[in-house]
Amino acid sequence: MKTVRAVTAMFALVLGAGLVYGQTGTVSGTVKFDGAVPSMKPYKVTYNNDVCGNEASLDRLVVGKGGGVEYAVVYIEGLKSKPKQVSPAKYVVDQKGCSYQPHVLVVEHGEEFTVANMDPLFHNVHGYFASNNETAFNIAEPVKGMKAVQKVRKPGMYLMRCDVHPWMNAYVYVAGDGYAAATDKNGEFTLTDVPAGKYELVMWHEGWDTKDVGGKPEFSKPVEQTQEITVTAGKTTAADFTLK
């Protein structure tokens, strides 16, 4: 076992491409909801019910066992780009049953992502810069099986909505430097290979208040929290956030 580790370490030294082995650490923690979780009213679907069902969840606040908040995005700002992974993940958002899956996607290094239509009906994927609500992209996907590849060069948060089904909403966070993660169903996140140093860690949550404006849900402002962290080489720094 020790030999394997030593060999792995040697390879990391050689393959690190300028990154000296041992000078990075991990940041890991949770986003939890404190107190009674507000109940989220489902959206009443009045057409395309055969595919979309009769009610749709807006997925604005998803809290699991123990209060863990899914779909928060945690990121570090102001780092140089993370070394590319050997085999980069494929980033895909499916439209299935008139819902985006996953609800929040983190795309690293400005890679492209794919939006796929798994439904036998027309979806129109309308992407907005979340910061100012201006259109970033607009893709019609009239047929089941259609896939559109999006290359987003500007890092930041994007909101996707469907022009046909107003309840459909999802977020894509394009992490320019690669140090970002979405929380899982336990509210947990992990950022790996972070160079040792002091940083501002940001937690972003979309916010959960909605207002019905002529049948289209309008969303409240996102919640953002920051904390200072110190990343130490070879260690894991704990960082927890609380929503209430």
Q: Which residue, 79 or 118, is less far from Cu ion as judged by CB?
A: 118
What is the number of the residue whose Cβ is closest to Cu ion?
162
Binding mask 3-22 for Cu ion (x = CB under 5 A): --------------------
Q: How far is the CB of 166 from Cu ion (least distance, A)?
A: 9
The owner of tokens 């009906």 is 121
Query: In the range 116-135, which residues lie near Cu ion by CB under 5 A?
Result: 123
The interface with Cu ion within residues 164-183 (CB under 5 A) comprises 164-165
CB of 69 to Cu ion, least distance (A): 26
The count of chain residues that interact with Cu ion, using the rule CB under 5 A, is: 4
- Binding of residue 162 to Cu ion (CB under 5 A): yes
Report the residue number, 115 or 203, with the smaller CB distance to Cu ion: 115
Q: Which lies closer to Cu ion via its Cβ, residue 32 or residue 103? A: 103
Query: What is the nearest approach in angstroms of Cu ion to the Cβ of residue 118?
Result: 11
Distance CA 49, CA 26 (A): 45
- Comparing CB distances to Cu ion, the nearer of 27 and 52 is 52
Give residues 68-107 in contact with Cu ion (rule: CB under 5 A). Answer: none
Shortest spacing between CB 115 and Cu ion, in angstroms: 11
Q: Please identify, using beta-carbon distances, which residue of 121 and 191 lies nearer to Cu ion.
A: 121
- Indicate the residue among 130 and 160 with the shorter CB distance to Cu ion: 160
Q: Give the nearest distance from C-beta 48 to Cu ion in angstroms.
A: 8
Whether residue 193 contacts residue 27, with contact meaning beta carbons closer than 8 Å, is answered with no
DSSP string, the chain: -HHHHHHHHHHHHHHTTTPPTTSEEEEEEEEEE-SSPPPPPPEE--SSHHHH-SEE---S-EE-GGGBEET-EEEE-SPPPPPPPSSPPP-EEEE-SSSEESSEEEEETT-EEEEEE-SSS-EEEEEEETTT--EEEEEEE-STT-EEEEE--S-EEEEEEESS-TT-EEEEEEESSS-EEE--TTSEEEEEEEESEEEEEEEEE----EEEETTEEEEPPPEEEEEEEEE-TT-EEE--EEE-
Least Å distance, CB 140 to Cu ion, is 10
Query: Applying CB under 5 A, which residues contact Cu ion?
Result: 123, 162, 164-165
